[in-house]
Chain A
Amino acid sequence: MKKVLSRFLASLSLAALPAAACAADGSVDSTTLLRFSQDSRPGVSSRTLLPATSFLGLDADKLADGKLSAHFLGWGRADLADKSFNENQADGSLTYGYLQYRFGAANAQARAGRFFVHEGIINEQVDGVSARTDLPYGFGVSAFGGATVHNARIPGTGSDGKGDGIFGGRVNYRYGGMFEIGLAGVFETDAPTMADPNLAGRFGSHRVIGADLWYSPISKVAFMARTSVNTETGGVAEQGYLLTVKPLKDLTVTGEFNDYQDRDLFYSSALFAAMPSMLSGNNLNQESRTLGASASYQIDSKFELTGDYKHYTRDIGKADRFGGELRCTLPDAALRTGGSYHYLRSSADFAVVPTSDASGSFHELRAYAMRDTKSYFASLDVIDYLFKRDIDGKKSALELYGSLGYHLTPNLALSGDLSYGSNPQNTDELKGLIRLNYSMKLAGKGDTK
C-alpha cells in the first residue's frame, strides 16, 4: 500500500509536464552536459568516460483560475562509453514535481506531488501533500505528510535506512517583524532493521522536534537560534545561534555558536551513524562545537570585503580557520571577480592519516573572474591548497577551471569547460565537458532566477 501511494504521488508530479503546455506564465530551463575523461590510474583497468546528463526544469504558473502552478525538476544520464559511475549504464532522478495552489490571502498554499519541505528545523523530501497558512494575530501553521523518498541502498543491507511514511509540521508566532518563534516536528515510521553490526544501538527511526527563534529588538540587531531534540535518543541533537549586527549601513558583523551531539544528530542516518567509531574509536557521544565571527563590508557598489574566523572544538582536538575574501561586481554584472585566502590551523588529529608527524593544516587560495556579454561568456577559476605537511607525497592540490561559451540566441547558450588538476590522487587530471543551456521565460513580469 505504501509503495502504491508513493508511486501514485510521484506519478501525480508528472502532471507538471502537460500543465506546462497550457501555462499562461512560466519558464523552461534545460542544461545538458557531455563530460569526457579517461581513467588510466595504475592498477585500474583503463576506462573512457563519456556520460551525457540532462537536467530539465519546468515551471508553469497561472494555470486554471490563475492560482494553480506546476513545478518539475529532474535529471537523466546515459553513458555513451564505459560505465561512468555505478552499475547502471543509465540513471536518473525526479528531484521534485508537484502541483501548487496558492490561495488569495494569508500566504496560504497547498502542494501535492514530490517536493521539499523547509520549515524551521525540518528539511525533508516527501512524496505527499502539504499545506501552510498565516493565521490572525501573528500565528501560522504548516503540515505535511506522505511517503518517504527512498534513495541509494547501503551496500549489504538492502535498505537506505528510512521508514516508508513521514509527516510533520510547524506552528509559529510572529510579533510584528521583530519576533518569531516556531515549533516543529517530524515523525517517520519505523526505520528498517539494519544488519550492519556497527549500527547496533546507534541507529533508529527519524523522529525530531525542535524550535527556531528570531528576535530583532532594533533594526540593526537580529538574533536567530534553532535547536532540535532527537526524541528517540532523548538528547539535544543540534543547537545553533547567530547574532547579526549592522553598526553601519554597509557593514554586517555576525557571531555564531553551534553545538552538535553526534549520536543524537546522526541517529537516523544509516551512512553517518557508524562514522564516529570509524574515525576515532567507539565514541558516539562526541561533541562538536564551533564558535565563529565574520564581518562583511560593502565598500561601494562594486566591492565587498569579508573577513571570517571560526574555532572548532571536538573531543579529538581543536582547530581554527580564518581568512578573508574580496569580491568585485561591475555594473550589470558583466564582470565579476574575486579572491580569497583562508588558513586552517589544526592538530595532527585532523590529518588525513593522524600520525605524530602529520598535520591537518593547510592554506587555501582562490581567485576567479567571469565575463558575461550578450554574445559570449567566459570564466577562470583557480584554487590552490598548500598543505603544511605532505599528503601522499604532495605538498599541494591545484585546480584550474576554465569555461568559454557563446549565446547562440538569447535563450540558447553553448559552452565548454576544461579543468586541470594536480593533487594527492592524481599527478595530472584533465577533464572537460560541453554544456548546452536552454532557458526560456514565458510572459513573466517578475524576476525568478
Chain B
Amino acid sequence: MRPSSQSLTLLALVALLFALAACAQIKALPNLPATHPEELASGPVSCTECHEDQQKGTLKQYAAFNHSRSFIANHRFYAGSDDILCASCHKVSFCADCHTNQTEMKPSVKLGNRPDRTMPHRGDYLTLHKIEGKLDPASCHRCHGRANNERCVVCHR
C-alpha cells in the first residue's frame, strides 16, 4: 500500500488550508510556560499537589500526569502528544539518558548512583536478553530497532 502522490499532495493542502485559516486567530492561543515557574522538589512528582484539576482550554487534566509507577511505565502514550508539557520540567537530556541513537554504555551504568530512576537492562541483561528478546521483541525494537547498536550487531549479524 504505497501512498500515492495525490494523497500526499492532498494531505499537504489540507494542512496548508488549516494554517492559513488559523493565522488571524493564532495569537490569542496561550503558550505553556517554557519552564515550570516554581522549583520542584526532588523525587516523584504529583501535579495535583498544587494544580487544581480543572480543564483549561485544551489542556488535559493534571491528574493524568501524576508520576505514579503506572505513568512511568506507560509514559510513551503521554510523551507522544504532550512533549511540550513534559519539557516544562524535563530537559531533553533527561529523555536522552535512555532514548538515544548511538549509545556508549547502559544508562544504568552512566547513572549507577541513581538506582531510584527506572533504567532498562539492570543486572545481568546479557543473559536475560536471550529470553526477553524472544518473549517481546517489539519492546527491544522500540529503542534498538533502527539504531544498529554496535553491541547488538556484534552477535546478531
Contacts and interface: CB of A to CB of B under 8 A. Distances in A.
Given A119-B80, A219-B53, A448-B89, A351 B131 contact: yes
Contact of B150 (A152, A362, A384, A415): A152
A353 to B, nearest CB: 9
A231 B2 CA distance: 5
Given A138-B58, A177-B61, A447-B38, A27 B69 contact: no
A121 B81 CA distance: 9
B101 A446 contact: no
A346 interface: yes
B153 A275 contact: no
Given A61-B34, A161-B148, A296-B70, A105 B156 contact: no
A105 B18 contact: no
Given A136-B26, A296-B68, A445 B137 contact: no
Interface in A162-219: 162, 169, 171-172, 174-178, 180, 182, 185, 187, 196, 206-207, 209, 212, 214, 216, 219
A227 to B, nearest CB: 12
A319 B135 contact: yes
Given A216-B61, A252-B68, A425 B1 contact: no
A385 B128 contact: yes
A174 B58 contact: yes
Interface string B90-130: 11111110011110110001101111100000111011101
A171 B144 contact: no
A177 B60 contact: yes
Given A96-B92, A178-B55, A319-B135, A271 B152 contact: yes
A378 to B, nearest CB: 8
B78 to A, nearest CB: 8
Interface string A1-42: 000000000000000000000000001010101010000000
A95 B57 CA distance: 35
Contacts of A104: 27, 31
A446 B33 CA distance: 9
Range of interface residues on chain B? Answer: 35 or more
A271 B152 CA distance: 8
B29 interface: yes
A231 to B, nearest CB: 5
Nearest to B8: A187
Contact of A108 (B26, B41, B99, B153): B26
B64 A447 contact: no
Range of interface residues on chain A? Answer: 35 or more
Contacts of A268: 146
Nearest to A336: B116
Contacts of B101: 93, 95, 125, 149, 151
Contacts of B50: none
Given A177-B55, A246-B63, A423-B127, A187 B110 contact: no
Nearest to A306: B69
Contacts of A438: none
Contact of A143 (B15, B33, B56, B147): B15
Contact of A254 (B74, B96, B146, B157): B74
B90 A449 contact: yes
Contacts of B89: 446-449
B74 A55 contact: no
B92 A71 contact: yes
A183 B20 CA distance: 19
Interface in A81-138: 85-86, 91, 93, 95-96, 102-109, 115-116, 118-123, 125, 133-136, 138
B84 interface: yes
A405 B113 contact: yes
A397 B99 CA distance: 26
Contacts of A266: 137, 141, 145
Nearest to B102: A93
A279 interface: yes
A415 B74 CA distance: 32
Q: Which 8 A-B pairs have the closest CB atoms?
A: A446-B35, A383-B123, A397-B124, A368-B115, A177-B55, A106-B29, A333-B42, A234-B1
Contact of A214 (B60, B63, B95, B140): B60
B68 A298 contact: yes
Interface in A202-257: 206-207, 209, 212, 214, 216, 219, 222, 224, 226, 229, 231-232, 234, 238, 240, 242, 244, 246, 252-254, 256
